[in-house]
Amino acid sequence: MSLTSELEELKGFKDFLILDEQGKVLLRQAKGAGFSQGVLSGYLASVYSIADRTTMPFTSNITEISFDGEGGSVLVMKGKDKYFMLLLEGTPSMGIARLKLRTLVDNYEQ
């Protein structure tokens, strides 16, 4: 079973990306066509903008940022040197998504 298979089973799963610290996509797993490059770029810009305005730097230890985007929800967790970005359609249960993404981040970095 792949690390991403549990994420793909989440209600509303649309896209999952692993990015390096420069924002280069290392892995992308999408359901159907996934989100367009323009939408992904907008979400990434939002993530960095939110991170710049928080009191807990997003570049410190594993932290997370989540927000509602147009037509869906975005959850990003920072690992040691990678970003894990999960995009869900609609307004799914973020608690379950958060737990599954946390498990993936922890397992990926072992």
Residue range 6-13: average pLDDT? 86
Integer Cα distance of 53 and 6 in angstroms: 32
Give this prediction's pTM: 0.77
84: helix, strand or coil: strand
Give CA torsion, residues 71, 55, 104, 6, to 10 deg.
-30
What CATH number belongs to 5-108? 3.30.450.30
Integer Cα distance of 80 and 61 in angstroms: 7
Contacts of 16 (CB under 8 A, 6+ apart): 4, 7, 8, 27, 28, 29, 30, 84, 85, 86, 87
Q: Output the pLDDT for position 1.
A: 45
Pairing of strands 82-89, 72-78: antiparallel
31: helix, strand or coil: coil
Contact of 16 with 7, CB cutoff 8 Å: yes
Question: Where in the chain are the domains?
Answer: 5-108
pLDDT (tens digit, 9 = 90+) per residue, 40-52? 777 777 766 666 6
